Structure 1
Amino acid sequence: MIKCTGAEFLGFYNDKEWWFSEQDGNLKPGEEHTYWEEASILVNGEPTDEYEFDYGRDIKPTDSISVSGGVVLGKVVGTAGPTVEAYLRRWLKAKSTTSFVVECDKALTDQLQELITKAGGKIAR
């Protein structure tokens, strides 16, 4: 199982360089779009139904996501047929940034935000 933030999962889910489709125009003739089957995806510890849950709409950046198993089919980055878990891990490793959720005392908010921006980080709201 791999865990990530909702922001990271949304980045993965919406990355047109990792999820190929005809409507995005990133497939060559004869190539199959990228999709997954049979993955176990928990959002804040609750299971989702891959056929009924709208991952692009229903996940919030601050959610806690856990992914295990499944299989990614069609055109993929790297070795064919990875698990969804392995494909997410591959995507996270290829990124040059990371995301995390921070909880702090309200009195320290300004100080913490200043430290993050001075270090070159971005704060999503």
Structure 2
Amino acid sequence: MTTKTTGAELKRFYNDPSFWLDGVWHEDVLILSKDGSQEDEISEIPDALAVSIAGGVVFYSGPGRAPWPGEDGTSFEAYFRRWRKTQNTAYGTLECPKDKLDAVLAAIKEAGGKVT
């Protein structure tokens, strides 16, 4: 299974100190762009790029219990989805007819959204 997101949301997750505590690290994460190419550095992914997270494991070696259920780590995708549930901002891409784009963008802004 893969989890879809944007570069902006992935970077916000990856830089959230409440999830990446001392002693938390990951291995073997595969980030794929929409065209199937692999993205190697999360910090260099363009904000608007649609990406999929595949595989990967998050480990914890700090004091006390791991910040997730289970003892041997959790999947990177599950950790990302857990983080996503705690957020009050949603990220995404949109698709609409070209002749309706201005109306769609205006509606997003009117509803308090931001177009980046």
TM bucket normalised to smaller: 0.7 to 0.9
Who is 1:23 aligned against? none
Residues 18-65 of structure 1: CA distance to partner in whole angstroms, max 9, x if unpaired?
Answer: 112xxxxxx4xxxx2x211012221232124xxxx22112x1122121
Q: CA RMSD in A?
A: 2.1
What SS does structure 2 have at the residue aligned with 1:61?
Answer: coil
Amino acid at match of 2:43: G
In the superposition, the TM-score normalised over structure 1's length comes to 0.72
Do 1:71 and 1:82's aligned partners in 2 also have CA atoms closer than 8 Å?
yes
Q: Distance in 1 between matches of 2:98 and 2:4?
A: 27
Structure 1, unaligned runs of 5 or more: 21-26
In structure 2, distance between residues paired with 1:97 and 1:43:
22
- Alignment coverage as a number of residue pairs: 108
Q: Percent identity?
A: 35
Aligned equivalents of 1:118 and 1:19: distance in 2?
34
Q: Which amino acid aligns with 1:86?
A: A
User: C-alpha distance in 1, partners of 2:67/2:114?
Assistant: 27
State the distance in 1 between where 2:74 and 2:9 align: 19
Structure 2: any 5+ residue segments left out of the alignment?
Answer: none
Q: Bigger CA drift: 102-111 or 112-121? A: 102-111
Deviations 1:71-102 (A, max 9, x none): 11225643351111111111112212211112
TM-score, structure 2 as length reference: 0.77
How much has 1:13 moved relative to structure 2? Answer: 1.4
